[in-house]
Amino acid sequence: IDFKIITNDGTHESMKMLIDLKNIFARQLPKMPKEYIVRLVFDRNHESMCIIKDNTKVIGGICYRKYPTQRFAEIAFLAITATLQVKGYGTRLMNKFKEHIQKQDVEYLLTYADNYAIGYFRKQGFYQEIKMQLDRWKGFIKDYDGGTLMECYVHPTIDYGN
């Protein structure tokens, strides 16, 4: 298992992986309009961390946007392919992601969690109580009423590695 940060850098390899990831998101997040998923996954302000099996096969990932001046990142989409869910990959992905984002000086993660994913996010250290000051994030991320806003504090020195 490998974890890779993929951006829309125009290379064939990145394109292929982002298309695979987009297809996993589209299937696992059926309430999300497909065009919206495509737009964000290929948007230059967004990055994705992919979990890759056997060197080439994307089995899941997380698409996010960093707001460096505000020192937070928003998780837009997160999913593991259906047949490999509840085997611990989602937890490993989140730990790797925290390890990565910590090095980028990000202090908080925000996400609009689907109602059935709230339990997963709680286990990953996300809370419905938002500790970040309102003016630091309000207006930066889009309001979205299809989910519950959750926040995770990323400690600057904890070792999230796994």
| Catalytic (active-site) positions | 74
Residues 35/48/73/141 CA torsion (nearest 10 deg) = -10
Q: Determine, following the binding rule CB under 6 A, whether residue 48 of this chain makes contact with ligand ACO.
A: no
What are the residues facing 62 on neighbouring strands?
49, 78
- Residue 17 or 97: which CB sits closer to ligand ACO? 97
Least Å distance, CB 12 to ligand ACO, is 26
By CB under 6 A, the residues from 21 to 40 that bind ligand ACO are 28-29
- Residue 71 or 122: which CB sits closer to ligand ACO? 122
Least Å distance, CB 148 to ligand ACO, is 9
Category of 3 on φ-ψ map: left (φ > 0), alpha (ψ -120 to 50) or beta? beta
The half-sphere exposure of 130 on its side-chain side, counting CA atoms within 13 A, is 15
Amino acid identity for residue 93 in this structure? L
Residues 109/60/3/151 CA torsion (nearest 10 deg) = 10
Out of 12, 55, 69, 116, the residue judged to bind ligand ACO by CB under 6 A: 116
Q: Please tell me the distance from the alpha carbon of residue 103 to that of residue 106, in angstroms, as a whole number.
A: 7
Out of 47, 51, 64, 90, the residue judged to bind ligand ACO by CB under 6 A: 90
Give the binding range for ligand ACO (CB under 6 A) out of 41-49, 95-103, 116-124, 130-138.
116-124
Binding site for ligand ACO (CB under 6 A): 28-29, 75, 77-80, 85-91, 111-114, 116-117, 119-120, 123
